[in-house]
Amino acid sequence: MAWIKRIAAIVAIVCIALIGWAAFLPGSHGTLDRFGLLGPMRSIGLPVAETDQTGAGGRPGFGGGGGGIAVVVREVASQVADSRLSAIGTSRPARSVALSVDVTGTLIEIPVSSGDWVEAGTRVARMNAEAQELARDRAELALRDAQSRANRVAQLRGSGSASQVQIDEAELALGRAELDLRIAQYELERREIIAPISGWIGLIMMEEGNLLAANTEFARLDDRSTLLIDFDIPERHVGRIAVGDGLRVSPLARPSEARSGRIRAIDARVDQDSRALRIQAEIDNEDDQLRPGMAFRVQLDLPGESLPSVDPLSVQWDRDGAFVWALDAEDRVNRVRIEIAQRRDDSVLVRAELVPGTFVVTEGVQNLRPGATVAPRQRLGPDGEVLEDAAMARSQAPQPEI
């Protein structure tokens, strides 16, 4: 039982020490309050020394005046928080065409090779077209015959020897012959593949003599001088970006090769399944170092919200979270709860009920309690510049004559 007595004696000594600390040293109140002891001690009627509202219980004469608790305070500023959005997107060419024909035939000529640059209007491939060529020649003969007949009827008409029926029949035959020639020419052109745009032709997997079925892709033609990158953003960012906004992209395979781009288009609606909005960006690829299908990391700097900015030294913690000691107009301090939004090298951006221009305590926080009056030794501006210095003001004050 001796060890129980020793423990009880130690506990009693600690309690007596805490009571004496609270009763004779008002500066201990901040520490006791942080550990949740000050309130219970007051509630059970233990003697707790109180400082008056002028802060007389602090360290008199050490501050800038009035006997308040000596502190250093810094002005709260307002800064815009950085808001950076990162996403992964896939690139595709600005213009791309799948080359094919809508008839079946045998390839007899492929005048280009895989990877060639092809100008718009260039013939890329030709199929056998003997029957179509014969039909075109026959249509040309029929057109010449109809044209000659129409000319003879026109001469007879001038002399009054041709009837209106003959004239109508000749004009009808001429029109029919012209239409037959157009049809024959169209059927002949269907046997060729013509590049509709300028671009780089992809791999050609077929050779001359192969049978090319209707609607089968012969090759793909890409204009990759400009690449489009499709990516998704969460719906909470809707309305924060616009067409023309700048961005940065870098290939996932080569992160160091960052490029600038811009937003080209924004989808008209949010996807109901993913709750994301599709965005289309474009980047320049005139040097042809990138390829369609590559994966890119996309970064956008979005407009951030304006938040109070405080000195990192002013941020304190207790069991309820983070707070700062803020001064009112009469240099009394009170706890203001904060939510840390962003940390920077020389400041902390917070969400709190702090107005720019308010001063918060950065030094001397260990002696503070809610409602205590302080005597700022220094008042610092938002950038750390000295606005007021109590010691310097006293040294520069005129001395009384002896």
Give pLDDT, residue 38.
Answer: 63
Give pLDDT, residue 102.
Answer: 86
User: Quick check: 91 and 227 in contact, CB under 8 A?
Assistant: yes
Domains and CATH numbers, the chain: 2-43 (no CATH), 69-81+306-396 (2.40.420.20), 85-94+221-302 (2.40.30.170), 129-190 (1.10.287)
What are the DSSP calls for 309-354, one per residue?
EE-GGG-EEETTEEEEEEE-TTSBEEEEE-EEEEE-SS-EEEESS-
Q: Cβ atoms within 10 A of the Cβ of 97, count?
A: 16
Residues 230-268, buried b or exposed e (16+ Cβ, 10 A)? Answer: bbbbeeeeeeebeeebebbbebeeeeeeebebebbeeee
Distances (CA, A) of 65 to 25, 58, 242, 345, 376: 21, 12, 55, 33, 8
Give pLDDT, residue 338.
Answer: 93
CA 13 to chain CA mean position, Å: 61
User: Quick check: 90 and 230 in contact, CB under 8 A?
Assistant: yes
Task: Measure the CA–CA gap between 399 and 402, rounded to whole angstroms.
Answer: 9
Give pLDDT, residue 225.
Answer: 92
Task: Measure the CA–CA gap between 172 and 85, rounded to whole angstroms.
Answer: 69
Give pLDDT, residue 226.
Answer: 93
Give pLDDT, residue 42.
Answer: 63
Give pLDDT, residue 150.
Answer: 84
Mean pLDDT per 10-residue segment, the chain (402 residues): 70 71 62 64 60 40 56 91 86 92 90 91 91 90 89 75 76 90 90 92 90 90 94 88 92 91 94 92 92 93 84 91 92 93 87 92 89 90 83 56 50
